[in-house]
Chains A and B, each alone.
Chain A
Amino acid sequence: DVKVTQSSRYLVKRTGEKVFLECVQDMDHENMFWYRQDPGLGLRLIYFSYDVKMKEKGDIPEGYSVSREKKERFSLILESASTNQTSMYLCASSLARENTIYFGEGSWLTVV
């Protein structure tokens, strides 16, 4: 089974803090994604990576950056957390030529 692991499930951070969300997949997938999910808005793509050190902006990249130094790991960084970044963050991965995307369990971030 494909496993996408988000190490931090629940976090509470203060406004202005730097926040790291880590994601690891164990199936040698080329593509990795970070989404955020808010009630009524569905999943919105923040960033996408199709290879090591490669990244593409999604629909809502403002306030976020990403890092992919190794194929299996994709990190989402909030340089200076703000209250409007309180949300659930979902990491996902897929093979380059396949349609199936596998999601992690999600990270619930509260910024106070």
Chain B
Amino acid sequence: QKEVEQNSGPLSVPEGAIASLNCTYSDRGSQSFFWYRQYSGKSPELIMSIYSNGDKEDGRFTAQLNKASQYVSLLIRDSQPSDSATYLCAVKSWGAGNMLTFGGGTRLMVKP
């Protein structure tokens, strides 16, 4: 059984701080990694994808991947109250087609 683990939170950070969200996965054959943001009562939306070890930056978001440690993280710089949401980590394994395995999500609260 492929597993993707996230701390459910809530993770509370003050406005302007860096929020760090973490995710571990069990399948060493995993190749593609995604972060989705989900506002309460809404559907998930893709915010970042990463495929190779290292960092990938997009605006205030940085995704970090370490395949040896089976660990992927999302950093949000200059956190804003509008970043308050649940962040879902998703992993795609080799040969899985477009099927993703999702973690349980981390709820982030950014306090003004």
Contacts and interface: CB of A to CB of B under 8 A. Distances in A.
B97 A42 contact: no
B104 A103 contact: no
Interface of B: 4, 6, 8, 32, 34, 42-46, 49, 88, 90, 92, 97-105
B67 to A, nearest CB: 17
24 contacts: A33-B98, A33-B99, A35-B102, A42-B6, A42-B88, A42-B102, A42-B103, A43-B100, A43-B102, A45-B101, A48-B97, A58-B99, A96-B98, A99-B32, A99-B49, A100-B46, A100-B49, A101-B46, A101-B98, A103-B45, A105-B42, A105-B43, A106-B42, A106-B43
B105 A99 contact: no
Interface string A22-56: 00000000010101000011111100101000000
A104 B43 contact: yes
B102 A31 contact: no
Interface in A42-96: 42-45, 48, 50, 58, 90, 94, 96
Contacts of A98: 98
Contacts of A103: 43-45
Contacts, number: 52
A42 B98 contact: no
B88 A31 contact: no
B4 A42 contact: yes
B36 to A, nearest CB: 8
Contacts of B105: 42
Interface of A: 31, 33, 35, 40-45, 48, 50, 58, 90, 94, 96, 98-101, 103-106
Contacts of A31: 97-98
B104 A42 contact: yes
Contacts of A104: 43
